[in-house]
Copies of this chain bind each other. A is one copy, B any other.
Amino acid sequence: MIKPLGDRVIIELVEQEEKTASGIVLPDSAKEKPQEGKVVAVGTGRVLDNGERVALEVSEGNRIIFSKFAGTEVKYEGTEYLILRENDILAIVE
Contact = CB atoms under 8 A, between A and B. Distances in A.
Given A5-B91, A44-B57, 8 more contacts: A3-B94, A4-B91, A25-B75, A33-B73, A48-B49, A50-B51, A65-B83, A83-B90
18 contacts: A1-B93, A2-B91, A2-B93, A2-B94, A3-B94, A5-B90, A24-B76, A26-B74, A29-B73, A31-B71, A31-B73, A34-B73, A50-B50, A51-B52, A74-B90, A74-B91, A76-B93, A83-B91
A65 B2 contact: yes
Interface in A46-80: 47-52, 54, 57-58, 65, 67, 71-77, 80
